[in-house]
């Protein structure tokens, strides 16, 4: 009764003053942005403030509109910031929630307003220069204890959102000066803890991983980033596992979506129509979005693979989805109260028998199907960079090549993926960069196999014919391609792959037949190599930009030409001798086998040497752009998520 | 006091009184310090006795202990006499001849038995005893037998089983204490089966010993609990006896049976948390003198034998207790102790910490087996198994061990990628390899510290990233830009190449004439621009040579993943796993393997294994060179258990399928030509093992002898496995396999044909083996007979199992007749059509060649 009365009274007063109806919290915000200390008249002002439901939009708007009065309202904003941090220590979860959201709004509002302002000004406006260090230390400590504490998972989730919000307020993460405090007061351990905790990692989704990936990229090249240092030495298995699991989930989800969509399109006419219509509006947007969101996930995967040597084991480890799916089921059950009486589910063979690497390879192959879109191209590039790192790491190789692991499909898949890529991307808009990476990955794998004498049971013929086709393509599009790319470099790499097989085939080919087949393939396609030789000879004799690059190819072709010149006459004479017009493959192989001994090859230097991947000068620009794009995307999505978080917390408030 | 009460009370009501009187009368004689405990425990009749005897064991050497026990036995027997005659006439206690007491062997016969060193067979004793029912002077002779040196565990078990006298049973119950643990452990299934299924007197006689041993040892406790559970399973739930077995099981599993010291210590702990080791160690040093307080504080260096280490057990156990206790003061007060045991990851469980880790470990292994059984294909099973084991790895190391192993150890890691699912139609038995660290005593030695899987590299990363510590403080003051840190190349790549190239020559030292060596050289000396020429023919030749050199491994077959894993020589596997293991560098590192069976009843296997062990020891004793290989069986319940795999052995089925050769040709391929030493020794091994197993198959009527159940090891021995169908049971009752044992033409070929010397040697061995077995028939029969009690096992189906088994020893035949019998058996088996039929049947139904 009394409450009703109060409400009525309130209404009457506002209506009489003919003002628009305002929430109490809004009024309080207004007070903050006035000149006076709001607590002067109402000593419990700050206490009350955090009991109110936050009005994010209004607060942000208010912050944006602050301009000239910055000077006098700064004290109040500082105070608000201070009390927010204080409120984080409160026992009442509602206050903590509100404080977190207020902080979110503060960070965002201030940055939106002062886009051009220097980081120092922003810090001054929010916390005041003299107190900034202490304030941020407090904030980080509070967040740390919230994240590590026993508290509610949604609180932790909100903490992560706040961090994501803070990390992404600027387009260029390295210009976000506040992060310097985040570097000093590291919350790395807290993030890891969340990742290692089986029960919580499913609830927070990708946030902790994305946050980590972003923090690692803060002033990566300019200063010592403690997150890089720490990430590189993590060796706690559950944590790394947890990280791998989150990444795998994200990629699996994308793969699943893709498969579903494919199945849909394979359906009847009607379903194709509806899906077309549907995809015009929803699916397409969805899909684009998820490629973009996955950029962050891929970045996280890259950083983990690149920085942390222990992560490699996680990559190749057989993931036990049983445990995950069951715990996931539990959480789903507890959250949605959906009864899933499908006992078959955790035993779905597709679900269990996978590991992160396989999932990643699947993802990469889907991604590479279409690289026209810039995001997809970037993602594909990142995928190839990750694969390069994997192919270079001797431990990863040891895992991939381990003969005693009972199912060893990874390596086949990896080579298959490369072959698939080579075959499918010979187009006008030639992705030279991707091709180079792709061929280099194969080269690195071969180098490892040669070193360790591992014989992969792979039908290398597929690779050979793909490579020959690539050369063919380069030749026929020479003029158009030369405008943009140095095709001789790629040609050199391809020819050297052949040289690897020719000179070191004894160390890694699976059977003696495959060595014969190599010769057969070269002899069969000798036209292509002849043409290539003519072309590079022509270019290298002319003076020009490509003279040197082309002459390298000329030199590299020496053994292939020797083979062609050796066997072609032999085959011709065999044909003439036996009066056969067309030799069968078996007959050619016979000729090859019987004429090895008279063939002398030249040993070329450095075939098994390769340039090692280094992020620093070469890829820095790419990563900078990538991080920028991820920041924008995360910022956009975090706001949405905070709103849904709001809904969740409403429920939360009624419980407590 | 109690003695007098005893004499007055009527005989049937005081089943426990004899033991009570032992404790009260024996303790003063040894002058133990703990006499009060025997009087305070009077609420539960068994406890005081245990208290006394337990401490007797810890404090006195085994010799004295035996004396105590014997003294006690002495008195029991006298008490028995007393009871028999007590009602009408009180005879002199020390009178040696008592006319009324039945069950004692007569003088002349006992003397005869003593004169004959090994002829002392329980069966004959039993019969003589029956004969002696009417003979007056005997009691002392039985006692003399019991006290003689010849009285061994086998006899004790036999008397325990056959005697109806509570006094004799109680005596033997006490005598058990004087035997060595290993001897009694062999008969543990028999003891427990008697405890469950025989009358109360036997149970009461056995229980003190079992309880005592449970207090001493965790593994014994668990072993008992598992066996009790397994052997109780055939009973009706309603029966009262049933509850006796399960009651004891519950008592053990509730972990009430801690060492007495530990219980005392727990109290001490709560009182004086800051010097917890003191009260206990003074108590024990007072008694034994062998324990210095230092020992309690540093559990890592420990040198006493297991029997004496009770005190140290209690110390490390109490540190377990302390961890579960919520008192933080206690926790912080003894960091030394806690670091030894709580550093490692033990399974987090409820209060009974003593047994929990191991039970949890076994439970998860069983759980995996159950889940595997639901998967349709072998490939899926294998993959699932591997992923499940990788999860299990996260919980290791802990205070867990493989009960099938012969030495004390802690399990540190399960190399999950090595595990394989074994061939089975509808169940999913699987084989895992387990890395363990040998230790002196798994109960007291500290659990090894976890080493992360990928530790190999973390050391280097730490070196390379020195600034992680400074960042926070040093950068706090200013925003100055620190010079570029990201020196990628240096941090990651350079020494990788170095490592690789250093490693390689070692790995492939055998093939150093290859071109890769060449190229490494040429890289270093780039100045010499002279082109090096190589012949294509050489490359091709090297390729085919190297491929041919590759060892004869089995092809990987997704349908039969175990074949490859089992073919790999054990030493090689150990070396390989050791190299890859983060624990491999530790000197106590060992590799074990175990087959986990889920859904199979291993009780018959256990029985068969006991018989095999018994026969093996008989043959050893009689110096007959028959070769058999009993393997350890661990019964966990009536439908699960573990089996110790036979290393370096593959089944005949796998041999034939993979090699596509006849057995003789396979021998030739593996061991060389028929005249080579290798082949000859392999052939001899084959013959000796064939003879051994032929006899066993005949005696035990082992059926289901298809080639999947017969292994061939790398030395040529055959080893029979899977004793699921023995004695009265046979697969599907199809009536196949009517021959005595499996002897195919292929086997005979390996022995050099039916006319060869080796084949005669085979028959001769069988004859010798049968004669030796016959001589000690009772030792074999006894094992089987006791297990027949209260069981529903199919091998005991029907009433004539024991009689038929006995008949197969052919006691009545002369040696010449026996020789004839062997000839007949061998001939019959060789010509047996059913064997061939059965192999064909197996091929059709199970795909076993």
Tell me the pLDDT tens digit for each residue of B498-550.
Answer: 333 333 333 333 333 333 333 333 333 344 456 778 888 888 888 888 777 65
- Which chain A residue's Cα is nearest to B529? A605
Mean pLDDT of A309-318: 74
For range B482-497, the mean pLDDT = 37
- Residue to mutate among A312, A355, A450, A506, with most B CBs inside 10 A, is A506
CB-CB contact of B635 with B606 (8 Å):
yes
Q: Are residues A35 and A143 in the same domain?
A: yes
- CATH number for the region B355-441+560-599 comes to 3.30.1010
Q: How large is the C-alpha radius of gyration of chain A?
A: 31
| Average confidence (pLDDT) over B804-809 | 85
Interface of B with A in 160-199 (CB under 8 A): none
Same domain, A599 and A469: yes
Enumerate the residues of chain A whose CB falls inside 8 A of the CB of residue B496. Answer: 393-394
Mean pLDDT over residues A64-78, rounded?
A: 71
Report the distance separating Cα A600 and Cα B432, nearest Å.
51
Q: Which residues of B touch A603 (CB under 8 A)?
A: 515, 518-519, 522, 531-534
Locate the chain A residue with the closest alpha carbon to B515.
A504
Indicate the burial class of A590 (C-beta count within 10 angstroms; 0-12, 13-18, 19 or more): middle
If you ran DSSP here, which 8-state letter would residue B794 be given?
G
Residue A80 lies in a domain: yes
- The nearest CA of chain B is from the CA of A316 a distance in Å of 11
Task: Identify the residue with better confidence: A120 or B697.
Answer: B697
Residue A313 is nearest to which of B394, B454, B534, comparing CB atoms? B454
Report residue A79 as tokens: 């105070």
Distance CA(B259)–CA(A219), nearest Å, equals: 62
Alpha helices in A453-557 (DSSP H): 461-476, 478-484, 487-508, 512-524, 526-541, 547-556
The pLDDT value recorded for residue B494 is 35
Three-state SS for B719? strand
Question: In chain B, which residues have their Cβ closer than 8 Å to the Cβ of A593?
Answer: 540
3-state secondary structure A357-386: HHHHHHHHHHHHCCCCCHHHHHHHHHHHHH
Give yes or no: residues A603 and A539 share one domain.
Answer: yes
B514 in contact with A, Cβ within 8 Å: yes
Same domain, A596 and A649: no
Residues B504, A229: C-beta atoms closer than 8 Å? no
Contact at CB, B380 and A349, closer than 8 angstroms: yes
B534/A601 CB distance under 8 A: yes
Residue A1 in any domain: the answer is: no
Q: Is the pLDDT of residue A158 over 70?
A: yes
Percent share of chain A, pLDDT over 70: 79
**Is A13 a domain residue?**
no
What six digits make up the tokens of A246? 């989150």
Q: Considering only alpha carbons, which residue of chain A is nearest residue B465?
A: A229
Q: Give the 3-state secondary structure of residue B596.
A: strand
Alpha-helical segments (H) within B465-602? 471-476, 488, 494-507, 515-524, 536-549, 561-567, 570-580
A419 and A562 belong to one structural domain: yes
Residues A515 and A610 in one domain: yes
Q: Are A518 and A502 in contact (CB under 8 A)?
A: yes
pLDDT tens digits along B576-621: 888 878 888 888 888 888 888 888 888 888 888 999 999 999 999 9
Contact B318, B269 (CB under 8 A): yes
C-alpha A570/C-alpha A579 separation (Å) is 14
Contact A450 B516 (CB under 8 A): yes
pLDDT in the model for residue A440:
92
Query: pLDDT digit string (tens) for A287-299?
Result: 444 666 688 889 9
In chain A, what residues touch B536 (CB-CB under 8 Å)?
502, 563, 596-597, 599-601
The reply to whether CATH 1.25.40.70 applies to domain B142-254 is yes
Co-location of A448 and A508 in the same domain: yes
Burial of B328 (0-12, 13-18, 19+ CB in 10 A): exposed
Whether residue B25 has pLDDT greater than 50: no
Half-sphere exposure of A488 (CA within 13 A, CB side): 22
Tell me the C-alpha distance between B626 and B691, whole Å.
Answer: 6
Fold of the domain built from segment(s) B648-846 = 1.10.1070
> Are A651 and A588 part of one and the same domain?
no
- Distance, CA of A100 to CA of A86 (rounded, Å): 11
Please identify which residue in the block is written with the tokens 């904030």.
A139
| CB-CB neighbors (< 8 A) of B417 in chain A | 318, 402, 404-406
CA gap B117, B129 in Å, rounded: 19
CB < 8 Å to B515, chain A: 503-504, 506-507, 603
Chain B nearest C-alpha distance from A200 (Å): 18
pTM, to two decimals: 0.58
d(CA B297, CA B206): 36
Across the interface, of B472, B485, B537, the residue whose CB is closest to A596 is B537
Residue B534 sits at the chain A interface (C-beta within 8 Å): yes
Instruction: Say if the Cβ atoms of B523 and A392 lie within 8 Å.
Output: no
Tokens representing A466? Answer: 């793909």
The token pair at A372 is 């026209």
In chain A, whose CA is at the least distance from the CA of B375?
A347
Stated length of chain A: 656
- Banded pLDDT at B790 (limits 50, 70, 90): confident
Nearest to A599 among B383, B536, B544 (CB): B536
Residue A232 included in any domain: no
| Mean per-residue pLDDT, A31-50 | 77
* Euclidean distance between CA atoms B693 and B627, whole angstroms: 8
Closest B-chain CA to A597: B537
| The token pair that represents A297 in the structure block | 């996930």
Between A520 and A23, the more confident residue is A520
Does residue A418 share a domain with residue A538? yes
How many C-beta atoms lie closer than 10 Å to residue B226's C-beta? Answer: 23
Indicate if A504 and A637 belong to the same structural domain.
no
- Which DSSP letter does residue A345 get? G
Q: Start-end ranges of CATH 1.25.40.70 in chain B?
A: 142-254
Task: Determine the distance in angstroms separating the CA of A611 from the nearest CA of chain B, rounded to an integer.
Answer: 10
Residues of chain B with CATH 3.30.1010: 355-441+560-599
CB B485 to CB A228 under 8 A? Answer: yes
Q: Cβ–Cβ of A603/B518 closer than 8 Å?
A: yes
- In this complex, is the C-beta atom of B512 within 8 Å of any C-beta atom belonging to chain A? no
Q: What is the pLDDT of residue B283?
A: 37
Q: Which of A311-320, A482-491, A597-606, A609-618 has the lowest mean pLDDT?
A: A311-320
Q: Judge: B547–A512 Cβ closer than 8 Å, yes or no.
A: yes
In this complex, the residue of A228, A506, A601 whose CB is nearest that of residue B546 is A506
Q: What is the mean pLDDT of residues B275-290?
A: 37
**Complex prediction ipTM:** 0.72
Alpha carbon of B383: minimum distance to chain A alpha carbons (Å): 6
Same domain, A414 and A492: yes
Q: Half-sphere exposure (CA, 13 Å, Cβ side) for A462?
A: 15
Question: Does A180 lie in the same domain as A64?
Answer: yes
Instruction: Write the DSSP assignment of B69-103 as a string of letters.
Output: HHHHHHHHHHHHHHHHHHTT----TT-S--SS--S
Q: Which of A65-79, A177-191, A489-503, B4-18 has the highest mean pLDDT?
A: A489-503
pLDDT for B671: 85
Q: What does the alpha-carbon distance between residue B315 and residue B280 come to, in Å, rounded to a whole number?
A: 9
pLDDT bin (cut points 50, 70, 90) of residue B844 is: low
Q: Residue range A133-157: average pLDDT? A: 84
Per CB-CB distance under 8 Å, the chain B contacts of A177 are 479
Q: Out of B384, B460, B535, name the one closest to residue A352 (CB).
A: B384
Domain that holds residue A487: 410-615
A453: left (phi over 0), alpha (psi -120 to 50) or beta: left
**From CA A249, how far away is CA A260, in angstroms rounded?**
16
Looking at the DSSP assignment, which residues form a beta bridge with residue B643?
A: B595, B633
Count of domains forming chain A? 2
Concatenating the DSSP letter of every residue in B388-407 gives: HHHHHHTT-SSS---TT-SS
- Write the pLDDT tens digit of every residue in A390-408: 888 877 777 777 655 544 5
Nearest CA in chain A to B417: A405
What does the longest C-alpha to C-alpha distance in chain B come to?
A: 119
Q: Hey, are the CB atoms on B387 and A515 less than 8 Å from each other?
A: no
Determine, for residues A402 and B542 on separate chains, whether the beta-carbon distance falls below 8 Å.
no
pLDDT of B391: 79
The pLDDT value recorded for residue A274 is 45
Q: Which of B395, B456, B500 is nearest to A313 (CA)?
A: B456
Q: Give the C-alpha separation, B24 to B39, whole Å.
A: 8
User: Strand locations in B684-760, DSSP E?
Assistant: 710-713, 718-720
Per-chain mean pLDDT for chain A: 78
* CA-based nearest distance B695→chain A, Å: 39
Contact between B458 and A313 using a beta-carbon 8 Å cutoff? no
């Amino acid at each position: 009764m009394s409450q009703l009365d109060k409400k009525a009274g309130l209404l009457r007063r506002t209506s009489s003053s003919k003002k628009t109806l305002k929430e109490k919290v809004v009024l309080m915000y207004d007070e903050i942005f006035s000149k006076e200390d709001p607590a002067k008249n109402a000593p419990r002002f700050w206490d009350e403030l955090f009991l109110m439901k936050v009005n994010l939009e209004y607060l942000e708007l208010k912050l944006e509109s602050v301009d000239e009065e910055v000077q006098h309202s700064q004290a109040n904003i500082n105070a608000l910031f201070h009390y927010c941090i204080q409120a984080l220590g409160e026992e009442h979860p509602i206050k903590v929630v509100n404080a977190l959201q207020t902080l979110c709004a503060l960070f965002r509002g201030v940055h939106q307003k002062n886009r051009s302002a220097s980081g120092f000004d922003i810090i001054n406006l929010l916390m005041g220069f003299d107190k900034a260090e202490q304030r941020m230390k407090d904030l980080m400590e509070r967040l740390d204890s919230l994240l590590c504490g026993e508290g509610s998972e949604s609180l932790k989730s909100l903490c992560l959102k706040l961090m994501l919000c803070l990390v992404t307020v600027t387009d260029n993460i390295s210009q976000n000066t506040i992060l310097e405090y985040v570097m000093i007061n590291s919350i790395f351990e807290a993030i890891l803890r969340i990742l290692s905790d089986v029960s919580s990692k499913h609830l927070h989704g990708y946030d902790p991983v994305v946050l980590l990936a972003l923090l690692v990229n803060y002033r990566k090249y300019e200063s010592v980033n403690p997150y890089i240092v720490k990430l590189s030495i993590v060796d706690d298995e559950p944590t790394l596992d947890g990280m791998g699991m989150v990444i795998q989930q994200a990629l699996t989800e994308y793969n699943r979506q893709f498969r579903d969509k494919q199945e849909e399109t394979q359906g009847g006419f009607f379903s194709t129509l509806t899906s077309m219509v549907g995809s015009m509006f929803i699916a397409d947007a969805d899909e684009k979005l998820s490629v973009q969101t996955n950029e962050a996930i891929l970045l996280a995967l890259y950083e983990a693979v690149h920085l942390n040597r222990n992560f490699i084991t996680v990559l190749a480890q057989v993931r036990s989805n049983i445990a995950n799916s069951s715990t996931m089921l539990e959480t789903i059950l507890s959250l949605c109260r959906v009864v899933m009486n499908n006992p078959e589910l955790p035993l779905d063979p597709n679900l269990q028998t996978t590991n992160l690497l396989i999932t990643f390879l699947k993802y990469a192959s889907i991604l590479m199907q279409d690289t026209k879109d810039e995001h997809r191209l970037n993602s594909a590039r990142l995928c190839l960079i990750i694969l390069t790192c994997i192919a270079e790491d001797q431990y990863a190789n040891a895992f991939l090549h381990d003969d005693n692991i009972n199912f060893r499909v990874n390596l086949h898949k990896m080579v298959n993926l490369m072959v698939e890529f080579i075959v499918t991307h010979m187009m006008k808009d030639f992705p030279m960069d991707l091709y180079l990476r792709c061929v280099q990955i194969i080269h690195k794998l071969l180098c490892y196999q040669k070193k360790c004498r591992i014989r992969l049971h792979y039908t290398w013929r597929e690779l050979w014919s793909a490579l020959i086709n690539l050369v063919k393509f380069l030749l026929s599009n020479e003029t158009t391609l030369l405008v943009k790319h140095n095709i001789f470099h790629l040609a050199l790499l391809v020819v050297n792959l052949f040289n690897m097989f020719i000179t070191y085939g004894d160390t890694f080919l699976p059977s003696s037949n495959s060595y014969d087949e190599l010769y057969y393939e070269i002899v069969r396609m000798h036209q292509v190599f002849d043409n290539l030789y003519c072309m590079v000879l022509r270019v290298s004799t002319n003076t020009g930009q490509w003279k040197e690059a082309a002459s390298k190819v000329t030199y590299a072709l020496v053994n292939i030409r020797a083979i062609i010149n050796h066997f072609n006459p032999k085959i011709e004479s065999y044909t003439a001798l036996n009066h056969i017009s067309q030799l069968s493959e078996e007959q050619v192989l016979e000729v090859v086998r019987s004429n090895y001994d008279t063939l002398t090859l030249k040993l070329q230097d450095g075939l098994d040497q390769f340039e090692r991947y280094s992020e620093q000068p070469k890829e820095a620009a790419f990563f900078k752009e990538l991080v920028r794009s991820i920041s924008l995307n995360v910022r956009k999505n975090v706001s949405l998520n905070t709103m849904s978080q709001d809904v969740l917390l409403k429920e939360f408030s009624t419980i407590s | 006091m109690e003695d007098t009460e005893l004499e007055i009370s009527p005989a049937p009501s005081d089943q426990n009184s004899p033991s009570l009187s032992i404790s009260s009368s024996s303790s003063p004689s040894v002058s133990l310090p703990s006499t009060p405990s025997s009087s305070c425990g009077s609420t539960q009749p068994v406890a005081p006795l245990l208290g006394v005897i337990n401490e007797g064991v810890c404090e006195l050497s085994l010799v004295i202990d035996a004396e105590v026990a014997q003294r006690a036995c002495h008195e029991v027997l006298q008490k028995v006499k007393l009871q028999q005659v007590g009602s009408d006439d009180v005879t002199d206690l020390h009178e040696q001849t008592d006319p009324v007491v039945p069950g004692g062997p007569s003088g002349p016969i006992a003397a005869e038995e003593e004169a004959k060193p090994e002829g002392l067979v329980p069966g004959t004793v039993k019969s003589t005893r029956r004969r002696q029912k009417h003979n007056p002077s005997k009691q002392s002779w039985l006692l003399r037998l019991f006290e003689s040196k010849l009285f061994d565990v086998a006899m004790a078990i036999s008397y325990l089983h056959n005697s109806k006298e509570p006094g004799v049973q109680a005596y033997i119950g006490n005598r058990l204490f004087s035997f060595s643990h290993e001897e009694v452990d062999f008969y543990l299934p028999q003891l427990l089966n008697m405890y469950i299924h025989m009358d109360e007197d036997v149970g009461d006689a056995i229980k003190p010993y079992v309880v005592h041993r449970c207090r001493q040892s965790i593994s014994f406790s668990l072993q008992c609990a598992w066996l009790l559970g397994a052997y109780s399973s055939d009973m009706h739930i309603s029966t009262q006896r049933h509850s006796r077995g399960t009651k004891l099981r519950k008592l053990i599993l509730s972990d009430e049976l801690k060492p007495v010291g530990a219980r005392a210590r727990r109290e001490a702990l709560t009182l004086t948390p800051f010097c917890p080791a003191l009260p206990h160690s003074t108590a024990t040093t007072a008694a034994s003198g062998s324990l210095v307080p230092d020992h309690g504080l540093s559990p890592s260096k420990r040198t006493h034998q297991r029997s004496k280490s009770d005190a140290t057990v209690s110390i490390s156990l109490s540190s377990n207790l302390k961890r579960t206790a919520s008192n933080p003061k206690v926790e912080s007060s003894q960091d030394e102790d806690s670091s030894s045991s709580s550093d490692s990851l033990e399974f987090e469980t409820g209060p009974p910490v003593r047994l929990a880790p191991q039970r949890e470990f076994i439970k998860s292994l069983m759980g995996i087996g159950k889940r595997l059984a639901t998967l349709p294909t072998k490939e899926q099973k294998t993959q699932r198994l591997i992923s499940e084991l990788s999860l299990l790895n996260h919980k290791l190391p802990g205070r867990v061990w493989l009960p099938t192993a012969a030495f004390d150890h802690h399990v540190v890691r399960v190399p999950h990628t090595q595990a394989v699912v074994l061939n089975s139609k509808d169940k999913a038995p699987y084989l895992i390899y387990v890395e363990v660290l040998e230790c002196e005593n798994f109960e007291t030695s500290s659990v090894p510290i976890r080493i992360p899987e990928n530790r190999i590299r973390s050391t280097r990363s730490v070196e390379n990233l020195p600034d992680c510590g400074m960042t926070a403080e040093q950068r706090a003051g200013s925003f100055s830009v620190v010079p570029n840190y990201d020196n990628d190349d240096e941090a990651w790549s350079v020494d990788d190449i170095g490592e690789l190239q250093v490693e390689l020559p070692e790995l492939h030292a055998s093939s150093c004439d290859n071109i890769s060596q060449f190229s490494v050289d040429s890289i270093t000396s780039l100045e010499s621009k002279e082109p090096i020429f190589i012949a294509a023919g050489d490359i091709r030749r090297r390729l085919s040579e190297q491929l041919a050199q590759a060892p004869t491994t089995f092809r990987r077959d997704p349908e039969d993943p175990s074949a490859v894993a089992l073919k790999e020589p054990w030493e090689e596997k150990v070396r390989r796993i050791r190299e890859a293991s983060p624990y491999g560098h530790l000197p106590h590192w060992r590799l074990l393997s175990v087959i986990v069976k889920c859904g199979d009843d291993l009780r018959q296997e256990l029985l068969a294994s006991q018989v095999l062990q018994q026969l093996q020891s008989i043959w050893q004793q009689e110096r007959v060179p028959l070769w058999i290989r009993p393997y350890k069986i661990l019964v966990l319940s009536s439908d699960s258990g573990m089996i110790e795999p036979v290393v370096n052995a593959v089944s005949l089925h796998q041999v034939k399928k993979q090699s596509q050769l006849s057995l003789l040709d396979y021998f030739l391929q593996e061991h060389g030509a028929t005249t080579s030493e290798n082949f000859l020794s392999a052939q001899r091994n084959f013959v000796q093992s064939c003879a051994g197993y032929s006899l066993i198959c005949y005696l035990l009527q082992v059926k289901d002898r298809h080639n999947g159940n017969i292994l061939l090891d790398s030395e040529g021995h055959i080893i029979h496995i899977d004793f699921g169908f023995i004695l009265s049971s046979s697969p599907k009752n199809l009536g196949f396999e009517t021959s005595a044992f499996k002897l195919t033409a292929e086997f005979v070929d390996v022995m050099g044909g039916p006319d060869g010397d080796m084949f005669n040697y085979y028959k001769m061995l069988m004859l010798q083996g049968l004669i030796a077995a016959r001589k000690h028939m009772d030792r074999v029969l006894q094992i089987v007979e006791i297990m027949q009690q209260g069981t529903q096992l199919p091998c005991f189906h029907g009433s004539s199992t024991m009689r038929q088994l006995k008949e197969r020893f052919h006691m009545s035949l002369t040696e010449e007749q026996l020789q004839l019998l062997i000839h007949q058996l061998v001939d019959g088996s060789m010509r047996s059509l059913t064997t061939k039929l059965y192999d064909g049947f197996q091929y059709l139904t199970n795909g076993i060649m």
